Structure 1
Amino acid sequence: MADRERRRRLLAPVPRAWPHAAVRTRVNAAALRIANLGVRHAIRRLPEVLGEGETVEMLATGTYGRGTRVLALTDRRLVFYGHAVLTRTVEDVPFDRISSVQWTGGLLTGTLAVVSAGGRTEIRQVPRDQGTALADLLGQRLTTGAASAPVSARHITARLGTLDDLRASGTITEQEYRDRRAEILRSL
């Protein structure tokens, strides 16, 4: 028994400093909400791929490429990130390269299709609530640069609901919540 305890102490992981300490709390809170054990590791390592001052607005999970990945919608881009024992996969699409977003939902999961200058990317098995919220938020991001069409009440309600979820999970601060809520209400 003592030998087992000694081995555990020798193999204990060494804590790493996060390059973006301010993001840590929000990412951890969202990770507990959305991820299974395999994806949580990738979410914990996500700040390593973020740029200086880049903030995560929303997280989701889905199957992309050879496994389950984290989809992180930041204030600058959409990131597909996977981190396993021997591999690390990072793909990103800046907003200015995305031409359209399509969400096809089933009963529990769906497929998020992102069409960009590099082609069409499909992320499958995205949980329905995460996928609809991500598609709405990404669609809103894409229309802010273009002349926006009349916004439906259902769309506004979905955006406000997503915003409430982000605040409740700790992904965004109270001030960010107030700013974004005001921005949504101004778009009416």
Structure 2
Amino acid sequence: MQYAGLNGQIEVVGDALIIRRTGMVARMGGTAGPDRRIPLPAISGVGFKDATRLVNGHIQLGLGGRPIRELGSQATGDPDTVVFTHKARDQFHQLHKWLQSVVELNLRAGIDPSAVAYGQGESRLDRLEQKRQQLDDRLEQKKQELDEKDQHHRAQQAERMTGPDGRRDVQDAVARMGWKLGGGREIKNLGAHLYDTETVQLIAQGTYSDDQGIIVLTDTRLLFLFHGIVRQRKEDFPLRSISSVQSKTGMITGELQIFSSGNTAKISGVVKDDLEKIAEAIRQQIAHGSPSPPATTAASAPDITDQLRKLAELYEAGILTEAEFTAKKQELLGRM
């Protein structure tokens, strides 16, 4: 027995239904394809909408225990549904009653429709969903690749700025910087201004009293460093002496105000993301207390004196320039 619909036909052959999709409606609905063979024990329900002279009807198969779906205007694109016209309504009324009897027989026989294999059909919406999922997967994979490249690029930038033998904490802080153009000379020379026992947490670029350099937050202090070709500048703000900080941001950059020992210092031109990170980190350390910077012991003084002597010898031998000699001498004197 055959039942001809608008977007396909149903034929009963032995203990199975054959759904054939032919014609322009099937092609437009996205259901055109090879014949589907559906064993009768796989039918677990049947939905029916009658046809009128103005509106087409449809018959919908519930397969494998799946519920009957609400189709609305999408009936022609559903792989388990055949649309019919008012002219064929009597035939499809008969098919509907017969399919209801098949469902009842399956229930009385204790058949589990979900255990019966049947030809799966894909609607146009199913295929679109698959394509969307594939696109999402590709986009996620591309995002992961870009993230890995970005991390690798940041690591390379950090190594170029700090050198292959640079401190790991400095390299990690450089990799976290939001803005990296400039500041390279200061970062390369940063290691000479750090205590062995302190750890760098964040680095950003900023301007302090017309000197454009870097601000460095460690676990003991906030350090501003400017390292020009002929002139250097270093300012220390021990965290234990900072009472509070304020941050003011514009569209891109902002200003950090440091209140320390009754004085106020302003560092401007700090990229907004870096500024907020540093300001919040300082507030956290102030709130929880910060360790004191390492004290200079009596045993270390002779060592610095010896370094000064060796530094003078290098300068007299012409190995160091006057600018390099002056910068290193000021640093050593600052440690005494």
Normalization by structure 1: what TM-score? 0.61
Q: 4+ residue stretches of structure 1 with deviation over 6 A?
A: none
The equivalent residue for 1:186 is: none
Q: Tell me the distance in 2 between the aligned counterparts of 1:56 and 1:25.
A: 9
Which residue of 161, 167, 177 maps to 1:24? 167
Give the direction of change, closer, same or farther, for the CA distance of 1:30–1:144 in structure 2 (3 Å limit). closer
- Measured against aligned partners, the alpha-carbon deviations of 1:85-114 in whole angstroms (never above 9, x if no partner) come to 011111101111101100011110111000
Partner of 1:122: 266
Aligned to 1:155: none
Q: Alpha-carbon deviations, 1:142-183, whole Å to 9, x = none?
A: 11139xxxxxxxxxxxxxxxxxxxxxxxxxxxxxxxxxxxxx
In 1, Cα distance between the equivalents of 2:262 and 2:195? 21
Say yes or no: does 1:40 pair with 2:184: yes
Correspondent of 2:286 among 139, 142, 153: 142
Give the direction of change, closer, same or farther, for the CA distance of 1:110–1:48 in structure 2 (3 Å limit): same
- Please give the alpha-carbon distance, in whole angstroms, between the structure 2 residues aligned to 1:25 and 1:145: 25
* Equivalenced residues, count: 125
- The 5 A counterparts of 1:162-177 are none
Contact 1:27-1:44 within 8 A present in 2 as well: no
TM superposition shift of 1:125: 0.9
How far apart are the structure 2 equivalents of 1:30 and 1:96? 22
What secondary structure does 2:273 align onto?
A: helix
Highest Rg: 1 or 2? 2
Question: 1:1-188 to 2 correspondence within 5 Å?
Answer: 24-28=167-171, 30-31=173-174, 33=177, 34-37=179-182, 39-117=183-261, 119-145=263-289
**1:66 shift after superposition:** 2.4
- Whose RCO is larger (CA < 8 A, sep 6+)? 1
Describe the SS at the equivalent of 2:203. Answer: strand
Is the alpha carbon distance of 1:114 and 1:40 closer, same or farther for their aligned partners in structure 2, counting shifts above 3 Å? same
TM-score of the two chains, using structure 2 as the length reference: 0.35
Contact 1:31 1:40 in 2 (8 A): no
> Using the alignment, how far apart are the partners of 1:110 and 1:90 within structure 2?
21
Alpha-carbon distance between aligned partners in 2 of 1:75 and 1:112, rounded to the nearest angstrom? 18
Q: Within 2, Cα distance between the matches of 1:66 and 1:128?
A: 19
Structure 1 residue identity aligned to 2:253: T
Find the aligned partners of 1:145 and 1:42 in 2 and give their Cα distance: 28
Query: How far is the alpha carbon of 1:54 from its aligned partner?
Result: 1.2
- Distance in 2 (CA, whole Å) between partners of 1:28 and 1:143 is 27
Q: Which runs of 5+ in 2 are unaligned?
A: 1-161, 291-336
SS at match of 2:189: helix
CA contact (8 A) 2:244 2:260 kept: yes
CA–CA separation in structure 1 for the residues paired with 2:256 and 2:202: 14
- The Cα offsets for residues 118-146 of structure 1, whole Å up to 9 and x where unpaired, read as 51000011100000010000010111139
Identity %: 32
> Would the aligned equivalents of 1:57 and 1:73 in 2 still touch at CA under 8 Å?
yes
Cα RMSD after superposing both structures:
2.1
